[in-house]
Structure 1
């Protein structure tokens, strides 16, 4: 027997405490989804489960002789909800694409966009071409460039956005399940090599692995299928509103990233805890 207990200990709130956000109340039935929207100023949040609600999924043997109670030594998995899905570039990690890459080529961003292949990078992000092919077709005119030099330039440009690493560490210490949900090529391995993001989250949903990019609705569907949970049990954080809107269409809670402080406030409004485990240990004399 395997029992999976899902917990989202969301704290109660009043409407007044959410005066600066837009809450989308989600009501799901087997046949349909009804959404009532109360907009105040900022879109991107959908109300979570009721405070301290557990979701249990149980599989019991059919034979009465082999039935077991919840208090047996059977495998029990507790999953703390919500599951947190993070975009990476310009949400957790500074994206070198807009500043460092044009500088590497001695161009402005506009000049680079005008002369680069219109779909090469997208195909690279989806894993449809490798980096050798990217180098071959990157420019419309087929000009050659120093691929390894470009990779070094990009590598040097990776850094955590201010305050985000500390936030990830606190979320991990509080037991939240976190996954990358990002559009990025195989070079995500360079990010991992430099910043060690896997210390905090799993590189589960990368476009180069999944063969899809946000905001493709199928990408969101596959994420939910892989996680084996309801969409309202997930919170997705991204700096781009079009990706947030696609998440909301899938029933996923979405928060548009602005900075680490605002993200912590928005997550706190959903009942997500940021208790400092070391401080708690000291307060209880442990």
Structure 2
């Protein structure tokens, strides 16, 4: 049984090097060993993308998607599509329609009906096309994903996003590097609800401390810490790589031709 009791929250920067001799690497806390020392389970084996005959490699990495891996079109492209400022858009849109869409409570047709407070109609297909044009990898993160894949890490999306995550997948093919395991629209939960994080560790059958959660929003990081996960605040790819290395995550050089063939 995986323990879901909260652990002492900390960020990667708070992990200090051991001052006494230890068999663990100074940059790899003991819980970051490459095999799971806890009781194995069938669901844990099924969740791991690696060969089931090999020990499960830890840590498991959980990535936010928007503004961590992929540029979010909400702040620039969507206001431009509606020919509004961000302030005007926030004042005119329905306060809960998007979050309802993200958790699968309404479909895209219902979203179109209630997106604006006054019920005005708009070009839904045009909005989707605008978003697709805007989707692109944040600089440097694809290199990180390629290296994680080369080193056989288990990587999952952990994102608040509606069924339109399929548009992101069609454009960028994130599934080359991760599994779309934890999307709010399919799980019915949203960050920063602790239930979403606990659902993830229960589904993966791992100790929370064996999960590294990466997000650009501190509110979501704090929720991950509250359930015992390791939390990394995404600022840019260079900082993220350094933070992951400090936790003992292995990286290998990625060449330009490897990106092209992915």
Does TM, normalized by the shorter one, top 0.5? yes
Q: Encode CA deviations 1:185-235: one digit per residue, 9 max, x unaligned.
A: 000000000000000000000000000100001001100100000000000
Q: TM-score, normalised by structure 2?
A: 0.82
Determine helix, strand or coil for the equivalent of 1:248: helix
**How do residues 56-67 of structure 1 correspond to structure 2 at under 5 angstroms?**
56-57=38-39
Equivalent residue number for residue 181 of structure 1:
158
Hey, what's the Cα distance between the residues in 2 that align with 1:159 and 1:131? 22
The Cα of 1:78 is off from its aligned counterpart by: 1.5
Equivalent residue number for residue 236 of structure 1:
213
1:145–1:78: structure 2 CA closer, same or farther, 3 Å change rule? same
What are the ranges of 5 or more consecutive residues in structure 1 without an aligned counterpart? 1-29, 38-42, 60-74, 279-286
Hey, what's the Cα distance between the residues in 1 that align with 2:186 and 2:121? 27
2:26 maps to 1:49: no
Hey, what's the Cα distance between the residues in 1 that align with 2:74 and 2:4? 44
Q: Encode CA deviations 1:130-189: one digit per residue, 9 max, x unaligned.
A: 000000000000100000000000010000000000110011101100000000000000
Hey, what's the Cα distance between the residues in 2 that align with 1:46 and 1:221? 23
Hey, what's the Cα distance between the residues in 2 that align with 1:209 and 1:228? 19
* Maintained 8 Å contact 2:34/2:59: no
Equivalent residue number for residue 88 of structure 2:
111
Hey, what's the Cα distance between the residues in 2 that align with 1:36 and 1:132? 41
Flag the structure with more relative contact order, 1 or 2, with Cα contacts below 8 A and sequence separation at least 6. Answer: 2
Hey, what's the Cα distance between the residues in 2 that align with 1:46 and 1:131? 43
Determine helix, strand or coil for the equivalent of 1:78: coil
When Rg is computed on C-alpha atoms for both structures, the one with the higher figure is 1
Determine helix, strand or coil for the equivalent of 2:55: strand
Equivalent residue number for residue 126 of structure 1:
103
Hey, what's the Cα distance between the residues in 1 that align with 2:135 and 2:5? 43
2:8 maps to 1:35: yes
The Cα of 1:77 is off from its aligned counterpart by: 3.8
255, 263, 266: which one pairs with 2:243? 266
Q: Encode CA deviations 1:13-56: one digit per residue, 9 max, x unaligned.
A: xxxxxxxxxxxxxxxxx79766387xxxxx45575425747415
Hey, what's the Cα distance between the residues in 2 that align with 1:36 and 1:100? 36
1:150–1:267: structure 2 CA closer, same or farther, 3 Å change rule? same
Determine helix, strand or coil for the equivalent of 1:214: coil
Equivalent residue number for residue 92 of structure 1:
69
Equivalent residue number for residue 144 of structure 2:
167
1:57–1:143: structure 2 CA closer, same or farther, 3 Å change rule? same
Count the aligned residue pairs.
230
1:36–1:217: structure 2 CA closer, same or farther, 3 Å change rule? closer
Q: What's the Cα RMSD here?
A: 2.3
Hey, what's the Cα distance between the residues in 2 that align with 1:123 and 1:211? 9
Q: TM-score, normalised by structure 1?
A: 0.75
